[in-house]
Amino acid sequence: MPRMGPSFAETPMTAAIGSTGTGGRVVSSPRAAWLRVEGHWQWYRRHWHATVFSGIAQPVLFLVAMGIGFGSQVEPSTATRGMSYLVYLAPALLVTGALQNAVGESTYPVLSGFKWQKDYLAVVATPITPGQLLAGQLIWVAMLVSGNGLAYLLIASLFGALAGPGVLLSLLVAVLTAMACSAPIMALSASINNDVNVFNGLFRFVVMPMTLFAGTFFPVTQLPGWAQPVVWLTPLWHGTELSRGAAFGELGLWPAAGHLAYLAGLFTIGVLLARWRFRRRLVV
Amino acid sequence: MTGGGRVLDGALVRAGGLVKRFGDFEAVRGIDVDVRRGEAFGFLGPNGAGKSSTMRMIACVSPRSGGELSVLGMDPDRDGPRIRARLGVVPQQDNLDVELTVRQNLHVYGRYFGLSRARVRAKADELMVFAQLSDRAGDEVEPLSGGMKRRLTIARSLVNDPELLLLDEPTTGLDPQARHLLWDKLFRLKQQGVTLIVTTHYMDEAEQLCDRLVVMDDGRIAAEGSPTELIKRYSTREVLELRFSPGEQEDAQQRGIAELADRVEVLPDRLLLYTDDGEVALEAVHGRGVRPASSLVRRSTLEDVFLRLTGRTLVD
Q: Which residue, of B226, B257, B281, is where some domain finishes?
A: B226
Predicted confidence (pLDDT) at residue A18 exceeds the cutoff of 80: no
Does any domain span residue A23?
A: no
For residue A188, what is the DSSP state?
A: H
Taking CA–CA distances from A132, the nearest residue in chain B reads B112
Predicted confidence (pLDDT) at residue A2 exceeds the cutoff of 50: no
Report CB contact under 8 Å: B193, A32: no
Does any domain span residue A222?
A: yes
pLDDT-derived band of residue B256, with 50, 70 and 90 as boundaries? confident
How far, in Å, CA of A261 to CA of A162, rounded? 26
Q: Are B23 and B146 in a shared domain?
A: yes
For residue B211, what is the DSSP state?
A: S
Where in the sequence is the domain holding B255, given as residue range(s)?
Answer: 236-299
**Measuring CA to CA, how many Å separate B173 from each of A29, B93, B99, B146, B205?**
37, 10, 22, 8, 13
Contact call for residues B173 and B146 (beta carbons, < 8 A): yes
Average pLDDT over residues A109-125: 96
CB of B6 within 8 Å of a chain A CB? The answer is: no
Q: How close, in Å, is residue A282 to chain B by CA atoms?
A: 7
Q: Are B106 and B243 in a shared domain?
A: no
Q: Are B213 and B242 in a shared domain?
A: no
pLDDT-derived band of residue B296, with 50, 70 and 90 as boundaries? very high
Comparing CA positions, the residue from A158, A151, A113, A150 lying closest to residue A274 is A113
Does any domain span residue B90?
A: yes
Does any domain span residue A253?
A: yes
Q: Are B212 and B93 in a shared domain?
A: yes
Q: Are B268 and B286 in a shared domain?
A: yes
Share of chain A above pLDDT 90, in %: 87
Kind and range of the H or E element at B221?
A: strand B220-225
Contact call for residues B96 and B149 (beta carbons, < 8 A): yes
Q: Are B58 and B86 in a shared domain?
A: yes
Q: Are B199 and B244 in a shared domain?
A: no
Report CB contact under 8 Å: B192, A17: yes
Q: How close, in Å, is residue B200 to chain A by CA atoms?
A: 20
3-state secondary structure of B312: coil
Q: How close, in Å, is residue A100 to chain B by CA atoms?
A: 23
Average pLDDT over residues B263-267: 91
Predicted confidence (pLDDT) at residue A6 exceeds the cutoff of 60: no
pLDDT-derived band of residue A8, with 50, 70 and 90 as boundaries? very low
CATH code for position B288: 3.30.70.980
Q: Are B44 and B110 in a shared domain?
A: yes
The three-state (H, E, C) secondary structure of B235-294, written as one string:
CCCEEEEEECCCCHHHHHHHCCHHHHCCEEEEECCEEEEEECCHHHHHHHHHHCCCCCCE
Does any domain span residue B80?
A: yes
pLDDT-derived band of residue B316, with 50, 70 and 90 as boundaries? low
Strands, DSSP E only, in B81-130? 87-90
Angle between helices B146-157 and B102-112 (to 10 degrees): 30
Q: Are B172 and B202 in a shared domain?
A: yes
The pLDDT value recorded for residue B8 is 52
Share of chain B above pLDDT 70, in %: 97
The pLDDT value recorded for residue A20 is 47
Does any domain span residue A237?
A: yes
Q: How many domains does chain B have?
A: 2
Report CB contact under 8 Å: A24, B130: no
Share of chain B above pLDDT 90, in %: 76
Counting every residue, how long is chain A?
A: 284
How far, in Å, CA of A184 to CA of A152, rounded? 25
Report CB contact under 8 Å: A11, B130: yes
How far, in Å, CA of A254 to CA of B182, rounded? 66
Report CB contact under 8 Å: A25, B85: yes
Q: How close, in Å, is residue A174 to chain B by CA atoms?
A: 29
Residue A257: burial class (beta carbons within 10 Å; 0-12, 13-18, 19+): exposed
Indicate the pairing of strand B11-22 with strand B25-36.
antiparallel
Residue type, B268: P
Counting every residue, how long is chain B?
A: 316
Tell me the CA end-to-end span of chain A in Å, nearest whole number. 41
Q: How many domains does chain A have?
A: 1
Does any domain span residue A166?
A: yes
The pLDDT value recorded for residue A265 is 98
Comparing CA positions, the residue from B155, B175, B178 lying closest to residue B167 is B155
* CB contact burial A151-183 (16+ within 10 A = b; e otherwise): bbbebbeeeebbbeebbebbbebbbbbbbbbbb
Taking CA–CA distances from B107, the nearest residue in chain A reads A39
Does any domain span residue B311?
A: no
**Measuring CA to CA, how many Å separate B48 from each of A98, B27, B36, B200, B267?**
46, 8, 25, 11, 22
**Measuring CA to CA, how many Å separate B269 from each of B235, B241, B247, B281, B294?**
20, 10, 10, 19, 12
The pLDDT value recorded for residue B315 is 65
Does any domain span residue B312?
A: no
pTM as predicted:
0.90
Q: Are B179 and B257 in a shared domain?
A: no
Residue B84 has its nearest CB partner, among A10, A43, A125, at A125
For residue A125, what is the DSSP state?
A: T
CB of B80 within 8 Å of a chain A CB? The answer is: yes
Return phi, psi of residue B69, to 5°. -150, 130
Q: Are B241 and B217 in a shared domain?
A: no
Higher-scoring residue by pLDDT: B291, A142: A142
pLDDT in tens, A147-201: 999 999 999 999 999 999 999 999 999 999 999 999 999 999 999 998 889 999 9
How far, in Å, CA of B302 to CA of B146, rounded? 27
How far, in Å, CA of B197 to CA of B7, rounded? 17
pLDDT in tens, A219-243: 999 999 999 999 999 999 999 999 9
- Name the average pLDDT for chain A: 91
Cβ within 8 Å of residue B201, ≥6 positions away: B44, B45, B46, B47, B49, B51, B169, B172, B314, B315
Where in the sequence is the domain holding A71, given as residue range(s)?
Answer: 29-40+47-282
